[in-house]
């Protein structure tokens, strides 16, 4: 009802819906945080990509090995909050062995899940589905997407034929 | 001492509930809350005498000019400036105040081989401007190291400041560690070598008595919003002779005397450094913030903060797994306590505390080199002001329990 709306105060913060921390810190996230998968340095890497979020200091270093269009190896090492590190671990598990077109498709799915809270959760994101709760905490979305952006940079470099790439989130 | 509960009634925001619990605001080093008196001054200006200053000849312009200039005198008196009408320049914030000096003073007086000295604990705002001006002028950067307690190493002060030093730019109070630096002693050393002394007072001026004539500093930069005033107002204090010797920083209206198509002559202090229409409303309301602090008294503010800071250091240190950084005696530091809780990342900690209505800061606090010196990526920081009570520190300590539950005794100490 338009008449019931206060006008001119659209920027006044409204009471936020209660967000349960359990929804953010799901068991699966904590598991990946404490025991990150693919937490290795590859013996042979074609590309090294570094991601850094200067706002919070989250870091991720990703080593990537390719066979043509296929990501044959990924090593992800980082320092940062539970969301950023768990996301990197879950993503590494999901994308290892997949070809670039498929990784790009999954990346799109993940980005949609994180930027459109409340939408349907894609079924093929594996453990990453657990990060859906983070989409409701606006400040944490960047933590969750850091690894994906870093991977995208790494793939772009691979396609260009360059070896090392550094990203700073802005 | 003053009545904290009475003071709290002046801050409307302290009635707010966050996620259903009363707000516990412990992020005062980032910005402080505003008392009703400051908010009223803003509204009163806009409702009663909004006008541009310095050039109108009508009643509103005269009233606005008088109120704007009155804050200049108040700000000058607050730090005991000798010539407040000329030595107080209004900027947007501390960062702009420092950039004004690095540009307007640095470009004129720095040459290749000259040295700029700061410390290992500087905020990026007292670091990056000097890096930029060093690149532009060929001057060299040197920094004074700190010990593991976060205090300046005195031998290194003596080692770094010397005949080549042209400016020493140092924070009076670290925004991360809270460390209070011996500005008066360092200024004396700088002056012995003919160097200029700039003090970053963003954290010190709001929290303790600061007297520029006693310190004998040449420049002092601070911000309104960290001392109960509105955002968008910074202060640069500079000794009159130095300000007069400098060229303008920005060109435009207000800062000129005569203008032709080819050249201009510049206005006298302080207008020479205040090009364009300034932040009139916020400067006027900043005056109300200064009045409020004067009403409490800066000695009382400092006494209160020593007490609550010591209480927080002791309470946090008593928690298994907590590491507190910086000096442990509150007499050596301001009201900021930086810590980590075991393996729980500060962001996660901040998120868990927010859910309980507790606002702290998590991250690198705009001091990345200092974080590396401390050996961490990020820290959590609780910082206090005149309205904080010990029971809010208790809430913070209790709040750590929730992090512990979620992260499953994630503390290193508990695991060992």
Show the tokens assigned to B243: 């300000």
Domain membership of residue B215 (yes or no) is yes
Residue B29 has a pLDDT of 97
- Please say if the pLDDT value at position B110 is more than 50: yes
- What are the tens digits of pLDDT across the range B383-407? 999 999 999 999 999 999 999 988 8
pLDDT tens string B347-369: 999 999 999 999 999 988 888 88
Q: What is the structure's pLDDT at B314?
A: 98
Query: Is residue B37 domain-resident?
Result: no
Q: Per-residue DSSP letters for A143-164? A: HHHHHHHHHHHHHHHHHHT--E
pLDDT for A167 equals 67
In a domain, A3, yes or no: no
**Minimum CA–CA partner of B347 in chain A:** A81
Query: In terms of Cα–Cα distance, which of A135, A120, A35, A116 is closest to A76?
Result: A35
Please report residues of B whose CB lies closer than 8 A to that of A25.
348, 406-407
Of B276, B294, B312, the residue that ends a domain is B294
pLDDT at A23: 79
Calculate the dihedral angle through the C-alpha atoms of B388, B179, B318, B308, rounding to the nearest 10 degrees.
-20
Q: What is the ipTM of this complex?
A: 0.77
Task: Judge whether A20 and A137 are in contact, CB under 8 Å.
Answer: no
Cα B164 from Cα B290, distance rounded (Å)? 39
In a domain, A121, yes or no: yes
For chain B, the domain total comes to 2
Residue B39 lies in a domain: no
- Whether residues B102 and B24 share a domain: the answer is no
pLDDT at B368: 83
Q: Within a domain: residue B304?
A: yes
Residues A53-72: tens digit of each pLDDT: 877 778 999 999 999 999 99
pLDDT at B409: 54
The CATH number that applies at residue B378 is 3.90.1150.10
Q: What is the pLDDT of residues A67-121, one digit of tens each?
A: 999 999 999 999 899 999 999 999 999 999 999 999 999 999 999 999 887 777 8
Q: Predicted confidence band at A164 (pLDDT cuts at 50, 70, 90)? A: low
Residue A26: per-residue pLDDT? 87
Q: Contact, B192 vs B158, CB < 8 A?
A: no
B142: tokens are 């040197």
Q: Are B326 and B178 in contact (CB under 8 A)?
A: yes
Q: What is the extent of the structural domain holding A112?
A: 20-168
Residue B386 in contact with residue B380, Cβ under 8 Å? Answer: no
Name which of A47-61, B1-15, B71-85, B303-317 the model is least confident about. A47-61
Q: Residue B334: phi, psi to the nearest 5?
A: -85, -170
User: What 3-state class would DSSP assign to A127?
Assistant: helix
Residue B156 has pLDDT above 80, yes or no: yes
- Taking the C-alpha atoms of residue B4 and residue B389, their distance in angstroms, rounded to an integer, is 8
Residue A142 maps to a domain = yes
Supply angle C-alpha B282, B287, B291, rounded to 5: 145
Residue-level pLDDT at A14: 47
In a domain, A34, yes or no: yes
Give the tokens for residue B394.
């208790």
Taking CA atoms, what residue in A is nearest to B372?
A57
DSSP tag of B305: H
Q: Looking at the predicted structure, is the pLDDT value of residue B411 above 60?
A: no
Which tokens go with B123?
Answer: 């905020």
Q: Which of B233, B260, B294 is the last residue of a domain?
A: B294
DSSP A45-80: -SEEEEEEETTTTEEEEEEEEEETTEEEEEEEEEES
- Cα dist. B265→B90, B252, B271, B272 in Å? 21, 11, 12, 10
CA count, 13 A, side-chain hemisphere, A51: 30
Q: Which residues of B touch A (CB under 8 A)?
A: 19-20, 345-348, 351-352, 355, 362-364, 368, 371, 377-378, 402, 406-408
Residues of B in contact with A138 (CB under 8 A): none
Residue-wise burial string across B237-246, b where 16 or more C-beta atoms lie within 10 A, e elsewhere: bbbeebbeeb
Q: Which pLDDT score, from 0 to 100, does residue A144 have?
A: 93
**Closest in B351, B363, B408 to A57, CB measured:** B363
Residue A160 lies in a domain: yes
The C-alpha atoms of residue A136 and residue A21 are separated, in whole angstroms, by 11
Number of helices (H), then strands (E), belonging to chain A: the values are 5, 4
The three-class DSSP label of residue B168 is strand
What separation in angstroms does the CA of B163 have from each of B142, B144, B189? 13, 16, 11
Distance (Å) from the alpha carbon of B394 to chain A's nearest alpha carbon: 21
Q: Which of B269, B414, B289, B286 is nearest to B344 (CA)?
A: B414
Q: Which of B19, B352, B364 sits opposite A57 (nearest CB)?
A: B364
On whether residue B157 sits in a domain, the answer given is yes
Q: Are residues B289 and B319 in the same domain?
A: no
CATH number at residue A69: 3.90.1010.10
User: Comparing A61-65, B276-280, B412-416, which segment has the lowest mean pLDDT?
Assistant: B412-416
pLDDT given at position A3? 39
What the block records as the tokens of B85 is 């009408």
Q: Are residues B49 and B60 in contact, defined by beta-carbon separation less than 8 angstroms? A: yes
State the pLDDT confidence band at A4, using cuts at 50, 70 and 90.
very low
Distance CA B312, CA B360 (A): 13
Q: How confident is the model at residue B410 (pLDDT cuts 50, 70, 90)?
A: very low
Same-domain check for residues B260 and B324:
no
CA B352 to the chain's CA centroid:
27
Q: Indicate if B175 and B79 belong to the same structural domain.
A: yes
| Polymer length in residues for chain B | 416
The interaxial angle of helices B280-296 and B298-317, nearest 10 deg, is: 80
The secondary structure element, H or E, covering residue B347 is: helix B346-354
Q: Which residues of B279-343 form beta strands (DSSP E)?
A: 322-325, 336-341
Contact B176, B379 (CB under 8 A): yes
SS3 helix, strand, coil % of chain A, rounded to 5?
Answer: 50, 20, 30
Rounded to 5 degrees, what are φ and ψ at B359? -100, 115
Residue B321 and residue B204 share a domain: no
Q: How far is B348 from chain A (nearest CA, A)?
A: 6
**Binary contact (A25, B371; C-beta < 8 A):** no
* Domain end position, chosen among B244, B260, B294: B294
Classify residue B35: in a domain, yes or no.
no
Residues linked to residue A48 through DSSP beta bridges, in sequence order: A63, A164
Question: Does residue A136 fall inside a structural domain?
Answer: yes
Give the residue from B200, B225, B236 showing the smallest Cα distance to B123: B200
Residues B383, B265 within the same domain: no
Domain with B267, as residue range(s), is 49-294
d(CA A124, CA A126): 6
Mean pLDDT taken over chain B:
94
In this prediction, residue A13 carries a pLDDT of: 54
What lies within 8 Å, CB to CB, of A104 at 6+ separation is A152, A155
The stretch B62-85 carries a mean pLDDT of 97
From chain A, which residues contact B within 8 Å (Cβ)?
Answer: 16, 18-19, 21-22, 24-25, 30, 54-59, 79-83, 137, 139-140, 143
B200 plus B332 within the same structural domain = no
pLDDT recorded at residue A105: 96
Residues B226-270 pLDDT 10s: 999 999 999 999 999 999 999 999 988 888 888 888 888 888 999
Count CB-CB contacts under 10 A for residue A133: 21
Residue A1 has pLDDT above 50, yes or no: no
Residue B366: active-site member: yes
CA distances from B306 to B238, B313, B330 (A): 29, 10, 5
Nearest to A33 by CA among A73, A75, A80: A80
Answer whether B355's CB lies under 8 Å from B21's CB: no
With 80 as the cut, is the pLDDT of residue A165 above it? no
Q: Is residue B235 part of a domain?
A: yes
Q: Which of A86, A57, A89, A92 is nearest to A73 (CA)?
A: A92
Specify burial of residue B289 (Cβ count, 10 A radius: 0-12, 13-18, 19+).
buried
**Which pLDDT belongs to residue B394?**
98
At B132-153, the pLDDT tens digits run 999 999 999 999 999 999 999 9
pLDDT of residue A6: 40
pTM, to two decimals: 0.90
**How much is the pLDDT for B54?**
85
Q: Is the pLDDT of residue A139 over 90?
A: no
The answer to whether position A4 is within a domain reads no
Whole-Å CA distances, B251 to A159, B255, B271: 48, 7, 11
Q: How many domains does chain A have?
A: 1
Whether the ω angle into residue B270 lies within 30 degrees of 0, i.e. cis, is yes
CATH number at residue B225: 3.40.640.10
- Tell whether B269 and B363 lie within a shared domain: no
Residue A12 belongs to some domain of the structure = no
């Amino acid at each position: 009802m338009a008449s019931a709306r206060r006008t001119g105060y659209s920027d006044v913060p409204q009471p936020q819906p209660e967000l349960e921390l359990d929804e953010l810190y799901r068991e699966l996230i904590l598991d990946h945080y404490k025991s990150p998968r693919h937490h290795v340095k590859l013996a042979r890497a074609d590309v090294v990509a570094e991601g850094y979020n200067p706002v919070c200091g989250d870091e991720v270093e990703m080593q990537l090995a390719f066979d043509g269009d296929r990501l044959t190896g990924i090593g992800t090492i980082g320092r940062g909050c539970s969301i950023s590190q768990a996301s990197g671990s879950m993503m590494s598990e999901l994308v290892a062995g997949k070809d670039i077109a498929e990784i790009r498709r999954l990346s799109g799915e993940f980005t949609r899940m994180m930027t459109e809270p409340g939408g349907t959760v894609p079924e093929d994101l594996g453990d990453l589905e657990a990060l859906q709760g983070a989409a409701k905490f606006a400040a944490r979305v960047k933590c969750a997407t850091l690894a994906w952006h870093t991977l995208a940079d790494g793939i772009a470099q691979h396609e260009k034929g360059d070896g090392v790439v550094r990203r700073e989130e802005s | 001492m003053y009545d904290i509960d009475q003071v709290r009634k002046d801050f409307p925001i302290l009635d707010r509930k966050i996620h259903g619990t009363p707000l516990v605001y412990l992020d005062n080093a980032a910005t402080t809350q505003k008392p009703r008196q400051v908010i009223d001054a803003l509204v009163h200006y806009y409702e009663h005498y909004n006008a541009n200053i310095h050039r109108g000849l009508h009643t509103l312009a005269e009233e606005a000019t008088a109120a704007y200039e009155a804050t200049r005198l108040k700000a000058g008196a607050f730090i005991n400036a000798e010539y407040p009408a000329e030595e107080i320049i209004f900027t947007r914030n501390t960062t702009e105040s420092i950039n004004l000096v690095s540009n307007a003073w640095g470009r004129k007086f720095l040459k290749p081989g000259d040295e700029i000295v700061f410390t290992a604990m500087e905020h990026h705002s007292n670091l990056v401007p000097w890096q930029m001006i060093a690149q532009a002028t060929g001057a060299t950067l040197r920094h004074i190291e700190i010990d593991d307690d976060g205090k300046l190493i005195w031998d290194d002060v003596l080692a770094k400041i010397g005949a080549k030093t042209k400016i020493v730019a140092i924070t009076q109070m670290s925004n991360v560690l809270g460390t209070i630096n011996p500005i008066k002693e360092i200024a004396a050393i700088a002056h012995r070598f003919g160097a200029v002394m700039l003090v970053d007072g963003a954290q010190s001026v709001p929290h303790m008595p600061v007297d520029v004539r006693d310190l004998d500093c040449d420049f002092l930069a601070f911000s309104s919003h960290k001392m109960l005033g509105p955002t968008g107002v910074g202060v640069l204090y500079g000794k009159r002779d130095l300000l007069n010797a400098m060229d303008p920083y920005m060109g435009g209206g207000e800062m000129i005397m005569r203008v032709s198509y080819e050249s201009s002559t510049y206005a006298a202090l302080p207008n020479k450094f205040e090009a364009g229409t300034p932040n009139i409303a916020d400067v006027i309301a900043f005056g109300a913030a200064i009045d409020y602090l004067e009403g409490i008294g800066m000695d009382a503010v400092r006494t209160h903060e020593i007490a609550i800071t010591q209480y927080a250091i002791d309470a946090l240190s008593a928690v298994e797994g907590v590491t507190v950084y910086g000096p442990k005696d509150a007499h050596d530091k301001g009201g900021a306590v930086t810590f980590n809780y075991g393996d729980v990342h500060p962001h996660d900690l901040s998120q868990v505390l927010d859910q309980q209505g507790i606002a702290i800061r998590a991250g690198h606090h705009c001091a990345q080199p200092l974080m590396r010196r401390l050996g961490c990526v990020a820290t959590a920081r609780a910082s206090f002001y005149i309205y904080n009570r010990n029971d809010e520190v208790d809430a913070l300590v209790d709040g750590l329990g929730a992090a512990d539950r979620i992260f499953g005794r994630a503390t290193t100490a508990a695991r060992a």
